[in-house]
Chain A
Amino acid sequence: MPSPAEVESPTGDEVLDPDRPWVVLVWNDPINLMSYVTYVLQKLFGYSLEKATTLMLDVHEKGRAVVSSGPREQAEMDVFRLHEHGLWATMQQD
Protein backbone atom coordinates (compact mmCIF):
# COMPACT_ATOMS: atom_id res chain seq x y z
CA MET A 1 0.00 0.00 0.00
CA PRO A 2 1.44 3.42 -0.86
CA SER A 3 2.19 5.84 1.92
CA PRO A 4 0.06 9.01 1.97
CA ALA A 5 2.92 11.06 0.63
CA GLU A 6 2.92 8.97 -2.54
CA VAL A 7 -0.75 9.47 -3.22
CA GLU A 8 -1.62 12.45 -5.35
CA SER A 9 -4.26 14.52 -3.65
CA PRO A 10 -7.11 15.21 -6.04
CA THR A 11 -8.04 18.89 -6.02
CA GLY A 12 -10.38 18.97 -8.98
CA ASP A 13 -9.69 20.75 -12.27
CA GLU A 14 -6.87 22.80 -10.79
CA VAL A 15 -4.32 20.01 -11.06
CA LEU A 16 -2.27 20.94 -14.09
CA ASP A 17 0.62 18.94 -15.34
CA PRO A 18 3.53 21.37 -15.43
CA ASP A 19 5.10 19.25 -18.17
CA ARG A 20 2.22 19.72 -20.58
CA PRO A 21 3.68 21.04 -23.80
CA TRP A 22 3.41 24.67 -24.78
CA VAL A 23 2.16 25.75 -28.18
CA VAL A 24 3.38 28.77 -30.10
CA LEU A 25 0.76 30.66 -32.10
CA VAL A 26 1.25 33.21 -34.86
CA TRP A 27 -1.59 35.73 -35.27
CA ASN A 28 -2.74 37.54 -38.36
CA ASP A 29 -1.71 41.14 -38.80
CA PRO A 30 -2.37 43.53 -41.69
CA ILE A 31 1.24 44.53 -42.32
CA ASN A 32 3.57 41.53 -42.66
CA LEU A 33 3.75 40.29 -46.24
CA MET A 34 2.56 36.76 -46.99
CA SER A 35 5.89 35.99 -48.67
CA TYR A 36 7.81 37.26 -45.63
CA VAL A 37 5.76 35.21 -43.13
CA THR A 38 6.24 32.06 -45.22
CA TYR A 39 9.98 32.71 -45.45
CA VAL A 40 10.35 33.27 -41.69
CA LEU A 41 8.53 30.01 -40.90
CA GLN A 42 10.85 28.16 -43.28
CA LYS A 43 13.93 29.84 -41.88
CA LEU A 44 13.15 29.42 -38.16
CA PHE A 45 11.56 25.97 -38.16
CA GLY A 46 13.03 24.33 -41.25
CA TYR A 47 9.57 23.78 -42.71
CA SER A 48 9.17 23.00 -46.40
CA LEU A 49 7.75 25.74 -48.64
CA GLU A 50 4.51 23.75 -48.79
CA LYS A 51 4.11 23.41 -45.02
CA ALA A 52 5.14 27.02 -44.34
CA THR A 53 2.67 28.24 -46.99
CA THR A 54 -0.15 26.18 -45.41
CA LEU A 55 0.59 27.67 -41.98
CA MET A 56 0.81 31.18 -43.43
CA LEU A 57 -2.56 30.76 -45.14
CA ASP A 58 -4.07 29.48 -41.86
CA VAL A 59 -2.80 32.65 -40.18
CA HIS A 60 -4.16 34.78 -43.00
CA GLU A 61 -7.55 33.11 -43.32
CA LYS A 62 -8.30 31.74 -39.83
CA GLY A 63 -6.56 34.48 -37.89
CA ARG A 64 -3.92 32.29 -36.27
CA ALA A 65 -1.98 29.04 -36.51
CA VAL A 66 0.04 26.84 -34.19
CA VAL A 67 3.57 26.93 -35.61
CA SER A 68 5.46 24.90 -33.00
CA SER A 69 5.06 23.10 -29.68
CA GLY A 70 7.34 21.77 -26.98
CA PRO A 71 8.74 22.48 -23.53
CA ARG A 72 8.45 26.00 -22.14
CA GLU A 73 12.06 26.98 -22.81
CA GLN A 74 11.78 25.93 -26.45
CA ALA A 75 8.50 27.80 -26.86
CA GLU A 76 10.04 30.94 -25.35
CA MET A 77 12.94 30.75 -27.75
CA ASP A 78 10.57 30.30 -30.70
CA VAL A 79 8.41 33.25 -29.62
CA PHE A 80 11.46 35.43 -29.14
CA ARG A 81 12.82 34.64 -32.59
CA LEU A 82 9.39 35.24 -34.17
CA HIS A 83 9.20 38.62 -32.40
CA GLU A 84 12.72 39.40 -33.59
CA HIS A 85 11.41 38.87 -37.12
CA GLY A 86 8.35 41.04 -36.47
CA LEU A 87 5.73 38.28 -36.37
CA TRP A 88 2.93 38.47 -33.85
CA ALA A 89 3.48 35.34 -31.73
CA THR A 90 2.10 34.19 -28.38
CA MET A 91 2.55 31.01 -26.33
CA GLN A 92 0.17 29.03 -24.15
CA GLN A 93 0.08 25.67 -22.43
CA ASP A 94 -1.81 23.12 -24.48
Chain B
Amino acid sequence: VAWWSRFPFEPVDDERVVVHLRRRERLLLATVVARARESLLSPADPTLQRLFPTAHPDDPARQAEWEDMARDRLLEARFAAFDVIEATVDDEELTVDQLMVWSQGLNAIRLLLGTALDVSEDLEEVDEDDPNVADYAVYDYLGYLVDGTVRALSTHLPPDGGA
Protein backbone atom coordinates (compact mmCIF):
# COMPACT_ATOMS: atom_id res chain seq x y z
CA VAL B 1 0.00 0.00 0.00
CA ALA B 2 1.51 3.30 -1.04
CA TRP B 3 1.57 6.06 1.52
CA TRP B 4 -0.68 8.37 -0.48
CA SER B 5 -3.44 5.82 -0.78
CA ARG B 6 -4.46 6.07 2.86
CA PHE B 7 -5.51 8.82 5.24
CA PRO B 8 -2.76 10.32 7.39
CA PHE B 9 -4.91 10.75 10.51
CA GLU B 10 -7.23 8.01 11.73
CA PRO B 11 -9.70 8.70 14.54
CA VAL B 12 -9.67 5.88 17.09
CA ASP B 13 -12.13 7.25 19.65
CA ASP B 14 -13.63 10.55 20.84
CA GLU B 15 -10.30 11.92 21.98
CA ARG B 16 -7.47 10.29 20.04
CA VAL B 17 -6.20 10.10 16.50
CA VAL B 18 -3.56 7.72 15.16
CA VAL B 19 -0.93 9.40 12.99
CA HIS B 20 0.08 7.37 9.93
CA LEU B 21 3.21 9.20 8.87
CA ARG B 22 6.53 7.70 7.96
CA ARG B 23 9.72 8.84 9.58
CA ARG B 24 10.81 10.79 6.51
CA GLU B 25 7.46 12.56 6.40
CA ARG B 26 7.91 13.56 10.04
CA LEU B 27 11.43 14.79 9.29
CA LEU B 28 10.05 16.84 6.41
CA LEU B 29 7.39 18.33 8.68
CA ALA B 30 9.95 19.29 11.31
CA THR B 31 12.02 21.00 8.61
CA VAL B 32 9.02 22.80 7.15
CA VAL B 33 7.89 24.04 10.58
CA ALA B 34 11.38 25.29 11.40
CA ARG B 35 11.51 27.15 8.10
CA ALA B 36 8.09 28.75 8.73
CA ARG B 37 9.24 29.81 12.18
CA GLU B 38 12.22 31.56 10.57
CA SER B 39 9.85 33.36 8.18
CA LEU B 40 7.74 34.63 11.05
CA LEU B 41 10.89 35.99 12.66
CA SER B 42 11.67 38.01 9.50
CA PRO B 43 9.06 40.80 9.59
CA ALA B 44 10.32 42.19 6.26
CA ASP B 45 9.11 39.08 4.43
CA PRO B 46 6.13 40.32 2.33
CA THR B 47 4.50 36.87 2.19
CA LEU B 48 3.87 37.17 5.94
CA GLN B 49 1.08 39.64 5.27
CA ARG B 50 -1.14 36.72 4.20
CA LEU B 51 -1.26 35.58 7.82
CA PHE B 52 -2.56 39.00 8.93
CA PRO B 53 -5.44 39.88 6.61
CA THR B 54 -7.02 43.33 6.56
CA ALA B 55 -10.22 43.41 8.63
CA HIS B 56 -11.36 46.94 7.66
CA PRO B 57 -10.29 47.50 4.04
CA ASP B 58 -12.28 50.75 3.69
CA ASP B 59 -11.43 52.33 7.04
CA PRO B 60 -7.72 53.02 7.64
CA ALA B 61 -8.27 54.30 11.21
CA ARG B 62 -10.19 51.20 12.25
CA GLN B 63 -7.67 49.01 10.42
CA ALA B 64 -4.81 50.60 12.39
CA GLU B 65 -6.68 49.86 15.62
CA TRP B 66 -7.28 46.32 14.41
CA GLU B 67 -3.60 45.71 13.74
CA ASP B 68 -2.68 47.00 17.19
CA MET B 69 -5.18 44.58 18.70
CA ALA B 70 -4.83 41.49 16.50
CA ARG B 71 -1.37 41.24 14.94
CA ASP B 72 0.65 40.15 17.96
CA ARG B 73 -2.05 37.74 19.07
CA LEU B 74 -2.17 36.14 15.61
CA LEU B 75 1.62 35.88 15.60
CA GLU B 76 1.65 34.25 19.04
CA ALA B 77 -1.04 31.79 17.95
CA ARG B 78 1.16 30.65 15.03
CA PHE B 79 4.24 30.25 17.22
CA ALA B 80 2.16 28.29 19.73
CA ALA B 81 0.91 26.01 16.94
CA PHE B 82 4.46 25.43 15.67
CA ASP B 83 5.53 24.59 19.25
CA VAL B 84 2.82 21.93 19.47
CA ILE B 85 3.66 20.39 16.08
CA GLU B 86 7.37 20.28 16.89
CA ALA B 87 6.73 18.73 20.31
CA THR B 88 4.45 16.01 18.88
CA VAL B 89 5.88 15.46 15.40
CA ASP B 90 7.17 11.98 16.30
CA ASP B 91 4.06 10.88 18.22
CA GLU B 92 2.08 7.87 17.04
CA GLU B 93 -1.10 9.34 18.52
CA LEU B 94 -2.46 12.86 18.92
CA THR B 95 -5.36 14.15 20.95
CA VAL B 96 -8.16 15.74 18.94
CA ASP B 97 -7.16 19.11 20.45
CA GLN B 98 -3.57 18.63 19.27
CA LEU B 99 -4.78 17.69 15.78
CA MET B 100 -6.84 20.92 15.65
CA VAL B 101 -3.64 22.83 16.36
CA TRP B 102 -1.80 20.82 13.67
CA SER B 103 -4.57 21.70 11.22
CA GLN B 104 -4.25 25.44 11.86
CA GLY B 105 -0.46 25.37 11.95
CA LEU B 106 -0.05 23.32 8.77
CA ASN B 107 -2.61 25.48 7.00
CA ALA B 108 -0.68 28.62 8.02
CA ILE B 109 2.52 27.13 6.59
CA ARG B 110 0.68 26.22 3.39
CA LEU B 111 -0.59 29.81 3.13
CA LEU B 112 2.96 31.14 3.45
CA LEU B 113 4.30 28.71 0.87
CA GLY B 114 1.42 29.24 -1.56
CA THR B 115 1.80 33.01 -1.27
CA ALA B 116 5.55 32.79 -1.91
CA LEU B 117 4.88 30.57 -4.96
CA ASP B 118 2.03 32.86 -6.05
CA VAL B 119 -0.17 29.84 -6.78
CA SER B 120 -3.46 30.10 -8.63
CA GLU B 121 -6.62 28.16 -7.88
CA ASP B 122 -6.07 25.63 -10.65
CA LEU B 123 -2.76 23.93 -10.15
CA GLU B 124 -0.92 23.95 -13.40
CA GLU B 125 1.93 21.78 -14.50
CA VAL B 126 5.25 22.96 -13.18
CA ASP B 127 8.07 23.47 -15.66
CA GLU B 128 10.83 20.94 -15.30
CA ASP B 129 13.40 23.71 -14.90
CA ASP B 130 11.32 25.69 -12.40
CA PRO B 131 13.65 26.31 -9.43
CA ASN B 132 10.66 25.99 -7.04
CA VAL B 133 9.69 22.47 -8.05
CA ALA B 134 10.47 21.08 -4.59
CA ASP B 135 8.41 23.80 -2.91
CA TYR B 136 5.43 22.95 -5.14
CA ALA B 137 5.71 19.34 -4.01
CA VAL B 138 5.80 20.39 -0.34
CA TYR B 139 2.81 22.67 -0.99
CA ASP B 140 0.85 19.75 -2.46
CA TYR B 141 1.91 17.48 0.38
CA LEU B 142 0.73 20.05 2.96
CA GLY B 143 -2.61 20.14 1.14
CA TYR B 144 -2.88 16.38 1.55
CA LEU B 145 -2.12 16.71 5.28
CA VAL B 146 -4.51 19.63 5.89
CA ASP B 147 -7.26 17.74 4.06
CA GLY B 148 -6.41 14.73 6.23
CA THR B 149 -6.83 16.77 9.42
CA VAL B 150 -10.23 17.96 8.16
CA ARG B 151 -11.36 14.40 7.42
CA ALA B 152 -10.38 13.24 10.90
CA LEU B 153 -11.69 16.31 12.75
CA SER B 154 -15.01 16.38 10.88
CA THR B 155 -15.97 13.18 12.65
CA HIS B 156 -15.95 15.23 15.86
CA LEU B 157 -18.38 17.89 14.69
CA PRO B 158 -22.02 17.64 15.79
CA PRO B 159 -23.84 16.00 12.85
CA ASP B 160 -26.67 18.54 12.66
CA GLY B 161 -24.37 21.49 13.27
CA GLY B 162 -26.48 22.55 16.23
CA ALA B 163 -27.18 25.90 14.56
Contact = CB atoms under 8 A, between A and B. Distances in A.
A79 B69 CA distance: 12
A83 interface: yes
Interface residues of B, number: 39
B110 to A, nearest CB: 7
A90 B57 contact: yes
Contacts of B66: 76
Nearest to B160: A48
B114 A30 contact: yes
A88 B50 CA distance: 8
A33 B147 contact: yes
A57 to B, nearest CB: 14
Contact of B111 (A31, A35, A51, A91): A31
B52 to A, nearest CB: 7
Contacts of B88: none
Interface of A: 30-33, 35-36, 38-39, 42-43, 45-52, 76, 79-80, 83-92
Given A33-B146, A80-B74, 7 more contacts: A35-B150, A36-B147, A42-B157, A79-B55, A86-B108, A90-B54, A92-B56
20 contacts: A30-B119, A30-B120, A31-B111, A31-B119, A33-B143, A33-B147, A36-B146, A39-B153, A46-B163, A51-B163, A76-B55, A76-B69, A80-B73, A80-B74, A84-B104, A85-B104, A85-B107, A86-B111, A90-B53, A91-B55
